Chains A and B, each alone.
Chain A
Amino acid sequence: MSSMISISGLSKAYASGFKALKGIDLDIKRGEIFALLGPNGAGKTTLISIICGITNPSAGQVLVDGRDIRRDYRATRAMIGLVPQELHTDAFETVWATVSFSRGLFGKPRNPAYIEKVLKDLSLWDKKDNKIVTLSGGMKRRVMIAKALSHEPQVLFLDEPTAGVDVELRKAMWDVVRALRASGVTIILTTHYIEEAEEMADRVGVINKGEIILVEKKAALMQKLGKKRLKLHLQSRIDIVPATLAAYNLELAADGGELIYTYDTRSEHTGITSLLGDLRAAGIRFSDLDTTQSSLEEIFVSLVRT
């Protein structure tokens, strides 16, 4: 598969001296859904802003479909649709007017039938004559997506598209994104939601402190995502883990008040049953327990730290 977006040596230093991006090299394949993950301030939005022409890079090159984003900005920008993270809308415009405006701005001839389709796909059709100010946050988010799709882009950037959006709407958005991918659109999304990356992405890239630290196929990542933690709140504190439990690699936490067991949900034997049996044999009683799945972000943060 050829590259849709090819980034090499991309750097961005702000006037304050802050280096938001440090020599990014990244290839996005044609037609894939690429999830870009990273903690706040990692450089996700800066990277997207540069590709879309909102921020000037300090150094490096970005090619979209083989064309340079600066020299050939008309061609590259015409191919790109952007849904920014923040809800920036013209409050007093109607949904129909604002989406039509976007299409015009990107130099496409009027096509009411297409706009109608976009609005219907996003369940906005019955709101088309409403002023944006009257819409809920989730609706506004959909308006932003409709604007980005108004000019039939071949590349779509979704910067935290489902932040602050309820579960139902999130699922509806995923359907729209899947349909777009099926029609050949390349999609780059940033997200905090583990399900989102899991559901949607073909590949996942992790950015931290302005550097791409990992790009992997989703399947490879799921291995790392399979880990769960079982936390046992002990009735009485212990100083050391008894030797009989050594095989479980338990961690002591909260000054000996908690035991933590990490296990793989995908393996045949999680070891939980035998652990609980061995705990009783060792005379360790617990008052409560809970399990947590490590989030994608936690995994990456720990990845970055090591």
Chain B
Amino acid sequence: MNFGAVQAIYKFEMARTWRTLLQSIVSPVVSTSLYFVVFGAAIGSRITEVEGISYGTFIVPGLIMLSVLTQSITNASFGIYFPKFIGTIYEILSAPVSYFEIVLGYVGAAATKSIILGLIILATAGLFVPLHIHHPIWMLTFLLLTSVTFSLFGFIIGIWADGFEKLQMIPMLIITPLTFLGGSFYSINMLPQTWQTLALFNPVVYLISGFRWSFYEIADVSVSVSIGMTVGFLAACMLVVSWIFRSGYRLKN
């Protein structure tokens, strides 16, 4: 195991985060604060409680997930796409590192950023609404699982993308809609029956539901199903990544 290489990649990626602090941390925090002001304070005060919780409090887990999902994908995809784009990937490919070590460095850094971001947003939310976390260990577990899974997913997108447009496409056109429709701002039970059934095909529903359960012990689907779905997606991403490296897809011609 070439720990030196993992550390080098990890440090390099984290340095990029601090260098682009505004884009990596500040801007998601600002946009989340705006959600709290608009949905929590302004509109939320007119909305009745959802499952016994004030609306502003209810949306906290969903908002954290919204940022964690999109930022995991954005950070991880950019992290591996950029060296491909500017050509510095040659050094990674010619170094004595295994695929596992490359993934560990890039995905580890992207997931770290997401977790930091999630915790910052959580703290920010605490300034707007009263928070109570029933199962902090499970909350952190969900945060970790989601960050790692979607950073892996982002890594795959970064390798697949051969232009900046493709890099933006999946987060913009798939992840953001899925997250908005996945119960960030409402409980699935508030939907008409048909939409409820459809929502069950949205993987993000399971993430948000499980995450919200760790806060308030309320969930749209059972917690074990949430964990199962998340781990399943994680396993699927790992399979794709291992295939990418074995075949050299979009990395080695």
- Residues of A at the B interface (CB closer than 8 Å) are 14-15, 52-56, 73-78, 80, 82, 84, 86, 88-93, 97, 101-109, 147
Which has the most chain A C-beta neighbours within 10 Å: B90, B92, B95? B95
Q: In the complex, are the beta carbons of A75 and B8 less than 8 A apart?
A: no
Find out whether the CB atom of B88 lies under 8 angstroms from the CB atom of A15.
no
Let me know if B238 is at the binding interface, CB within 8 A.
no
In the complex, whether B252 has a CB less than 8 A from a CB of chain A is yes
| Bound CA span A53–B90, Å | 9
Q: B-side interface residues toward A, CB under 8 Å? A: 2-5, 7-9, 11-12, 15, 19, 86-88, 90-98, 248, 252-253
Q: Chain A: which residue is nearest B105 at the CB level?
A: A105
By Cβ-Cβ distance, the 9 closest A-B pairs, closest first, are A104-B8, A88-B87, A77-B96, A52-B94, A74-B96, A107-B2, A107-B4, A78-B96, A105-B95
Q: Which of B5, B86, B98 contacts A105 (CB 8 A)?
A: B5
Q: Nearest chain-B residue to A109 (Cβ)?
A: B4
Task: Name 22 A/B residue pairs within 8 A (Cβ), A-sorted.
Answer: A52-B93, A53-B94, A54-B93, A54-B94, A55-B252, A74-B98, A76-B96, A77-B94, A82-B90, A82-B91, A88-B88, A88-B90, A89-B86, A90-B86, A91-B86, A101-B8, A101-B11, A102-B91, A103-B8, A105-B95, A107-B4, A107-B97
Contacts A88-B90, A105-B97: A56 and B252 contacting too (C-beta < 8 A)?
A: yes
CA distance A80 to B97 in the complex (A): 13
Task: Apart from A84-B87, A89-B86, A105-B91, list 19 A-B contacts with CB within 8 A.
Answer: A14-B253, A52-B93, A54-B90, A54-B94, A54-B252, A77-B96, A78-B96, A80-B94, A82-B90, A86-B87, A91-B86, A97-B15, A104-B4, A105-B4, A105-B5, A105-B8, A105-B9, A105-B95, A107-B95
Please indicate which of the listed interface residues A75, A84, A103, A104 has the most CB atoms of chain B within 10 Å of its own CB. Answer: A104
Contacts of B15 in A (CB 8 A): 93, 97
Shortest Cβ gap from A96 to chain B (Å): 12
- Scoring B19, B93, B97, B253 by chain A CB atoms within 10 A of each residue's CB, the highest score goes to B253
Question: Are A104 and B7 in touch, CB under 8 angstroms?
Answer: yes
A-B contacts at CB below 8 angstroms, number: 79
Majority-rule SS of B interface residues: helix
Chain A residues near B92 (CB-CB < 8 A): 105
